[in-house]
């Protein structure tokens, strides 16, 4: 049997800025990886002033973002599914959201397409965001909500119209952006060159990460897959400019200072002592049917 990982993201480009190198590393090792984009990113802005496809973006941003996502998918070698919901954008001052946008639809309804995907793909590992969405965009928070609903229900004999039950083995939150990573990068650069012209920019760029949780249980070494990650991120050219802070740190410096993607193990239905260096630790793919049985351990 082949190990399978499912990563749930809010918008196209989220998969490339959070976890892409891990996905590429597992594909290289022979695992199956599927990325789910819950929305099409229709409410986004053009964040790259030098975008070559600017007229396409102005005319049809949703269409362009599908083209960009297809390019990132090919680079990473992953499977991809659109959950099919409309980008909610940021909430208005009164907290309201567009009618029928992803975050405005009840979780009982919006989780069903993801439940169908899980029962078809049968992942051993599910990666999603924490209850704050990684940052408080309504679609990120709703991505967490639907993921948690599916984690609880996919192995139960409910909604038979959405496929046969499948019990996911392990649940993780993405912790790629965290304070420990930011501090490690800055300290390493300061040690190399206290007068580095990069420092002021990086101090500003990484400051927001210091408030992010560093409760990391699992680190995946990814330095061999920086190129895949960066190429996938550049594919989302409407959202990421070539001089973006994502690319500011020299990759040899990053490899020496912090060559990891970080995750937090939130729940496990297999024996999985932490800390870990493998998201599939404790998963026995040779016993696939037993691990995925409908109500065992629920």
Average pLDDT on 25-49 reads: 96
Q: Give the number of C-alpha atoms closer than 13 A to the C-alpha of residue 222, restricted to the C-beta side.
A: 29
> Would you say residue 116 has pLDDT above 80?
yes
Torsion-angle region of 158 (φ positive above 0: left; ψ -120 to 50: alpha; else: beta): beta
**Binding site membership for Zn(2+): which residues?**
11, 14, 140
The secondary structure element, H or E, covering residue 265 is strand 260-268
Among 160, 138, 142, 180, which Cα is nearest to 264's?
180
**Which residues lie closer than 8 Å to 103 by C-beta, 6 or more apart?**
88, 91, 97, 138, 139, 141, 142
Average pLDDT on 105-122 reads: 98
Structure token digits, residue 13: 């480009």
> Would you say residue 5 has pLDDT above 70?
yes
**Binding site membership: which residues?**
11, 14, 140
Mean pLDDT value across the chain: 92
Instruction: Please tell me the predicted confidence (pLDDT) of residue 297.
Output: 42
> Would you say residue 285 has pLDDT above 70?
no
**For 134-143, b where at least 16 C-beta lie within 10 A, e where not — what string?**
beebbbbbbb
Q: What is the pLDDT of residues 157-212, one digit of tens each?
A: 999 999 999 999 999 999 998 888 988 998 999 999 898 888 888 888 777 787 77
**Which tops the pLDDT comparison, 204 or 4?**
4
Query: Do residues 265 and 172 make contact, with C-beta atoms less than 8 angstroms apart?
Result: yes
> Would you say residue 286 has pLDDT above 60?
no
Average pLDDT on 48-64 reads: 93
Q: What is the pLDDT of residues 124-138, one digit of tens each?
A: 999 999 999 988 899
Among 246, 240, 248, which Cα is nearest to 199's?
248
Query: Do residues 270 and 169 make contact, with C-beta atoms less than 8 angstroms apart?
Result: yes
Query: Do residues 40 and 65 make contact, with C-beta atoms less than 8 angstroms apart?
Result: yes
> Rounded to the nearest 5°, which phi and psi values hold at 218?
-140, 125
Structure token digits, residue 32: 């199956």
Topology annotation, domain 4-177+260-282:
Rossmann fold (3.40.50)
> Would you say residue 98 has pLDDT above 70?
yes
Separation of alpha carbons 75 and 68, rounded Å:
11
């Amino acid at each position: 049997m082949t190990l399978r990982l499912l990563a749930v993201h809010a918008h196209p480009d989220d998969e490339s800025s959070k976890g892409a190198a891990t996905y590429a590393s597992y594909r290289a090792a022979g695992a199956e990886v599927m990325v789910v984009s819950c929305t099409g990113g229709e409410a986004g802005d053009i964040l790259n002033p030098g975008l070559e496809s600017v007229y396409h973006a102005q005319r049809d941003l949703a269409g362009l973002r599908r083209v960009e996502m297809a390019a990132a998918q090919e680079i990473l070698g992953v499977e991809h599914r659109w959950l099919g919901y409309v980008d909610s954008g940021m909430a208005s001052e009164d907290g309201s959201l567009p009618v029928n946008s992803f975050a405005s639809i009840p979780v009982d309804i919006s989780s069903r397409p993801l439940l169908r995907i899980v029962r078809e793909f049968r992942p051993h590992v599910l990666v999603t965001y924490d209850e704050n969405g990684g940052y408080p965009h309504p679609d990120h928070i709703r991505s967490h909500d639907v993921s948690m609903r599916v984690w609880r229900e996919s192995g139960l004999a409910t909604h038979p119209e959405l496929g046969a039950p499948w019990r996911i083995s392990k649940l993780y939150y993405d912790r790629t952006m965290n304070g420990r990573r930011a501090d490690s990068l800055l300290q390493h650069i300061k040690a190399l060159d206290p007068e580095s012209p990069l420092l002021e920019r990086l101090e500003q760029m990484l400051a927001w990460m210091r408030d992010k949780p560093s409760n990391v249980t699992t680190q995946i070494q990814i330095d061999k897959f920086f190129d895949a990650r960066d190429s996938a991120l550049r594919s989302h050219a409407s959202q990421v400019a070539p001089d973006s802070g994502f690319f500011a740190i020299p990759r040899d410096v990053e490899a020496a200072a912090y060559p990891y993607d970080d995750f937090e193990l939130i729940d496990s239905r297999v024996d999985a002592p932490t800390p870990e260096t493998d998201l599939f630790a404790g998963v026995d793919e040779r016993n696939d049917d037993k691990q995925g049985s409908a109500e065992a351990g629920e």
